[in-house]
Amino acid sequence: MIIGYARVSTGGQTLDQQRAALKAADCKRIFEEKASGAQRSRPELVRMLEQLQPGNVVTVTRLDRLARSTR
């Protein structure tokens, strides 16, 4: 199963573009949240990780949506 994760950093931003891209990538389930990448508490990310099964693929629109720094 292809699973999507979308995140925006501030309440003023929208998830619309990420949501559309993840749907176009054929994600069957999309986890979304509005939280800074610097926050340790990201409940939707934790929920997604807990539900992953062998063979699942996690898709993001940009690597920095998963983590604040991609170094």
Name the catalytic one among 9, 36, 41, 69: 9
Spatial neighbors of 1 by CB under 8 A, at least 6 apart, are: 28, 29, 53, 55, 56, 57
3-class DSSP assignment, residue 58: strand
Catalytic annotation present for 9: yes
- Residues annotated as catalytic (active site), given as ranges: 9
